[in-house]
Amino acid sequence: MKEHAKNIAKTNLACDDFDYRAAPIQTGMQGAVEDFMIRLFKPIWNREIKICFGLGKHGDSAATRRNKRSPWDTMHPGREWADQTVEEQMSRSQIEAMIAAHLETHPVIRDKDELFKNLALG
């Protein structure tokens, strides 16, 4: 979380706009629980969802492997090393269209009743 907070602080976003919940889990279960949560909530910033990934990306130079700017950095500029990258993986309008389509198909789970309903159907 500290790593993500550092990255967010370098963008056009405020860390105060973010919230998270944590729960203790048995050692060795982290990967399975994370995978389950990604499949359940389908967060657009997660690499597996393939929309606005790149938040956790570290400072690769634009020359390294001919990197293109991540969708996260296209939507939320400010990380100096990413701003030096000329070419984007996707345009802002493409990302916005993908987000809108994603939220139409996978609406945000707003409360615990909706969460339990989703868990029962899953």
Q: What is the mean pLDDT of each run of 10 residues along the chain (122 residues)?
A: 86 87 89 91 92 82 72 91 87 98 94 88 66
Return the pLDDT at 84. Answer: 84
In DSSP terms, which residues pair with 71 in a beta bridge? none
**Helix H or strand E encompassing 100:** helix 92-105
pTM of the shown model: 0.81
Residue 80 is predicted with a pLDDT of 84
Q: What pLDDT was estimated at residue 96?
A: 98
Nearest C-alpha neighbor of 54 from the set 63, 62, 45: 45
CA gap 7, 25 in Å, rounded: 26
**119: enclosing H helix or E strand:** helix 112-121
